[in-house]
Amino acid sequence: MDKTKLKRILELEIKINDAKKMKTLERIPKLNELLDEMLVFLEELQDE
């Protein structure tokens, strides 16, 4: 895996961890958004 993909994974993990610290009503939509972003990224990896 190249550095840009690893960097993207790390950035997503940091965003997810930050979202976990939010208040519940703010956290749920943010986590859904980030999980969708992660899913798109994983699908892109699978296609390679």
Give residue-wise pLDDT tens across range 9-27.
Answer: 899 999 989 988 889 888 8
Phi, psi of 4 (to 5 degrees): -65, -35
pTM for the full predicted model = 0.72
pLDDT at 1 exceeding the cut of 80: no
What phi and psi values does residue 23 have, to the nearest 5 degrees? Answer: -65, 150
Q: Could you report the per-residue pLDDT of 25-46, keeping only the tens digit for each?
A: 888 999 999 999 999 999 998 9
For residue 20, the enclosing domain spans 3-47
Is the pLDDT at 47 greater than 90? The verdict is: no
How many domains would you assign to the chain?
Answer: 1
pLDDT at position 20 is 87
Task: Please state, in angstroms and rounded to a whole number, the distance separating the CA atoms of residues 45 and 19.
Answer: 24
